[in-house]
Amino acid sequence: MEKVYATIITIGDELLIGQVVDTNSAWIAQQLNAIGILVKQRISVGDDAREIMDALDKAAAISQAVLITGGLGPTADDITKPTLCAYFGGNLKVDEEALQNVKIIFQKLQRPLIERNLKQAEVPDNCTVIQNARGTAPGMWFEKMGVYFVSMPGVPFEMQGMMTDFVLPALKRSLTLPAVVHRTLLTAGIGESFLAELIQDWEKALPSFIKLAYLPNYGMVRLRLTATGYDKIKIEEATDKAFADLQGLVQDYLVSNVDETIEKKVASLLLRTGKTMSTAESCTGGYMAHLLTRHPGSSAYYLGSVISYDNSVKHDVLQVPEDLLKRGAVSEPVVVQMVRGVLEATGSDYAVAVSGIMGPDGGTGEKPVGTVWMAAGSREDIVTQQMHFRFDRMRNIELTSAHAFNLLRKFLLQENQA
Amino acid sequence: MEKVYATIITIGDELLIGQVVDTNSAWIAQQLNAIGILVKQRISVGDDAREIMDALDKAAAISQAVLITGGLGPTADDITKPTLCAYFGGNLKVDEEALQNVKIIFQKLQRPLIERNLKQAEVPDNCTVIQNARGTAPGMWFEKMGVYFVSMPGVPFEMQGMMTDFVLPALKRSLTLPAVVHRTLLTAGIGESFLAELIQDWEKALPSFIKLAYLPNYGMVRLRLTATGYDKIKIEEATDKAFADLQGLVQDYLVSNVDETIEKKVASLLLRTGKTMSTAESCTGGYMAHLLTRHPGSSAYYLGSVISYDNSVKHDVLQVPEDLLKRGAVSEPVVVQMVRGVLEATGSDYAVAVSGIMGPDGGTGEKPVGTVWMAAGSREDIVTQQMHFRFDRMRNIELTSAHAFNLLRKFLLQENQA
């Protein structure tokens, strides 16, 4: 089977000084994988013509498609466009459609157009112009010696629009691509090594066209099967069989047999019964609420939260008695009362509450940094759990959130069975 | 002046399928820049021995230091260690200190040790072992033909510990590094192109050892000066002079003259006066609370929040009158009452509130997706602002948060002047 490879080149000094985290590469890689294009390499270079050309040469030598982002802005350090123009031997000329687009955007923003912005409508005369429905800089599609080169803006929202509307369909038309099948499950409560032991015989027996990936994240491990081949029905059947066997092996730890986050799993359990939830957060400081509300449609099951960062808010808004707080806000009775208090305040059916010490300061001998109490439940019943994390502040916040959602998930499952 | 270059190689199939966003490269690049090492290129390759070796060859040809992360885990797909061992011509042997470390970690976790984990203590006999204070996999430091190679785990927290404790000091000792001076300021209310127009004469007159970078983020633009040279006093003086001139040119848009986020700027204004704040969030769903609480020490000025995602919570907890909500929750009177309500609920001195439509659904002809009302103020005075964003859900949430913090910042400045 002939594999089709791509290389992703991200351009910009900001990537080399570390000012910006490159989220584009991961997003592009996911989209390419989904249509059967494997990513061979990802390269980031600065705003330097020679570096860019070297990267293009290398990429063309190992791949059939080269996806480039960045360096198309209006300022002097953005040199991707003239560099590509020189590399492919073209001349810059104004593209009328791109010019209209720039004019319309500035009209909408009620900003005056300056020379610098008009220049954004210039493109090499030997490329196919990719119009930008979400911004001013047009994209470019070149072909050279059987390799396709695509240049897109570095703004994720603009790049994603171009990929979806133009680039992915064009790549599908231009290349002969295999079928790709993904199956993913999420486990909790078992480490990567132990999981590997548990499934090692199954893993060894996998056919060669099915690959397994371990993807540990926030104390949970995601297992992903990827099968590639030209006989779609055959690989789908084989992957489904392998996936069913895998689910049997890990059933004690299985959170979900689709590729979703733990909060989405909680959401789907709530949607099934038409119930609602809220959160009462001390140490996670709104992060759990954010994880729920970043998903469209969350208003169907999520009512709101009380972020009781200060003890006064735990007392005044969540009705946690003062004497409990005096004995220690990171404690089982406090999180139980936080659940009760937020159920009362928001009127939700279920709630989850956390209180802990995320660090780097605030730890004591008895309660070191990483100590967390969490509670989840309803007006009738509440379950609790204590945990100890040993990471930095942000990771402790992420881990606390994931485990608190898992506690609520288990509670909801029990409820649904009862 | 002899420049010192590094290449960052990140290893792992998960990077090429896009399952994981590479945050390590940006962090490492920042740390290297701060000690005067320029990053020439970033390369990501899969768990494939030939790909890894090719990347090592390329990196060694263009840099004096090669920093590698990933592929050191206990599972079969992690092949970085044997590959490096072969590349540098060594043999794997158990490192006693690393072995003790693995044993102690498993004892603490109360998990049984299996063969797979013990193997993590094996290292090539021709490297300097970098002990891992935060995990089981040791790091490795090699030297070949005057190039330093460092291999670290892909877990950010573990990699960061090794960098800080061992790698950065060792690179400083081993290489002759120039002084590097950074000066950064944050602007709001002016686009990148207009900023470029405003400062173009100043930019043209910059000495060649000072570089300017435009870093647009969430509707604000950060400007960063980076000066490099061996005469630290001279470059510092020149950079401070250029930075002072720049601040004068952009003074109408200046948010901060240090490299900080908008919420940190709000925090520093509050800390100066010993006052406190809270947030009342509808459409941002806890993201503003999270931005505040991800920073250590936020309890000094932040009391808590009410996330009133559902109108019932706006009414019951924030006392927004029902008739106002009926006329439309995304409105000026509603956000004003949300500020009043959360001031009352939390007892904070200041508060900021937002209500809007983040998309993709929920927009109407009158109030399209991206419409946001925000309010900030105290018990005495409240200011409001309406905004329109045109991006995807997550970016609209980020932009709303940044602009709402900016509204509060301007309010606090006015208060402090009064």
Band of residue A110 on the pLDDT scale cut at 50, 70, 90:
confident
Best interface-test mutation with A: which of B293, B330, B355, B389 has the largest number of A CBs within 10 A?
A: B293
Interface of A with B in 351-370 (CB under 8 A): 359-361
pLDDT given for residue B312 in this prediction: 96
**Which pLDDT does position A390 carry in this prediction?**
80
Residue A79, φ and ψ in degrees, nearest 5? -120, 10
For residue B325, give how far its alpha carbon lies from the nearest alpha carbon of chain A (Å): 15
pLDDT tens across A292-321, in order?
999 999 999 999 999 999 999 999 999 999
A385 touches chain B (CB under 8 A): no
Nearest by Cα to B389 from B376, B407, B406, B402: B402
Distance (Å) from the alpha carbon of A64 to chain B's nearest alpha carbon:
16
Best mutation site among B110, B180, B224, B290 for testing chain A: the one with the most A CBs within 10 Å? B290
In this structure, are residues A56 and A66 in contact, taking their beta carbons and an 8 Å threshold?
yes
DSSP codes, B273-333: HT--EEEEESTTTTHHHHHHHTSTTGGGTEEEEEE--SHHHHHHTT---HHHHHT-SSSHH
Chain B residues close to A198, C-beta within 8 Å: none
Of B16, B287, B317, the CB nearest to A39: B16
Q: Give percent helix, percent strand, percent coil of chain B, each to the nearest 5.
A: 45, 25, 30
Cis-peptide into B360, omega within 30 deg: yes
CA nearest B282 in A: which residue? A304
A303 and B287 in contact by Cβ < 8 A? no
Model confidence band, residue A1 (pLDDT cutoffs 50, 70, 90): low
Pairing, β A147-152 against β A65-69: parallel
Chain B residue with minimum CA distance to A112: B194
**A305 close to B (CB below 8 A):** yes
Among A15, A27, A211, the residue with its CB nearest the CB of B18 is: A27
Q: How many CB atoms lie within 10 A of CB A351?
A: 29
Mean pLDDT computed over B311-333: 96
Residue B384 to residues A116, A213, A413, B216, Cα–Cα distance (Å): 33, 50, 44, 25
* B303 contacts A293? CB cut-off 8 A: no
A202 touches chain B (CB under 8 A): no
Helix (H) or strand (E) holding B394: helix B393-417
Q: List the single residue in B with minimal CA-CA distance to A194.
A: B114
Residues B139-198: pLDDT tens digits?
999 999 999 999 999 988 899 999 999 999 999 999 999 988 989 999 988 888 889 999
Residue of A nearest to B116 (CA): A193
Tell me whether strands A382-388 and A139-144 are parallel, antiparallel or unpaired: unpaired
A13 contact B CB<8A: yes
The Cβ of residue B108 has, within 10 Å, a number of other Cβ atoms equal to 10
Q: What is the mean pLDDT of residues A191-212?
A: 92
Within the 126-165 window of chain A, which residues sit less than 8 Å (CB to CB) from chain B?
134, 156-157, 160
Q: Which chain B residues touch A116 with a CB distance below 8 Å? A: 193, 196-197
Q: What is the pLDDT of residue B108?
A: 76
Name every chain A residue with its beta carbon within 8 A of the beta carbon of B38. Answer: 16
Q: What is the ipTM of this complex?
A: 0.85
Q: A408: distance to nearest CA of chain B, Å?
A: 19
Q: Rounded to whole angstroms, what are the CA distances from B52 to A9, A33, A88, B8?
A: 18, 21, 30, 12
Query: Does the structure show a pLDDT above 70 at B1?
Result: no
Residue B397 to residue A294, Cβ atoms within 8 A:
yes
| B41-95 pLDDT, tens digit each | 999 999 999 999 999 999 999 999 999 999 998 877 789 999 999 999 999 999 9
Considering only the beta carbons, identify the residue of A307, A309, A361 that sits closest to B296: A361
Q: What is the pLDDT of residue B202?
A: 97
Q: Does pTM top 0.95 for this prediction? A: no
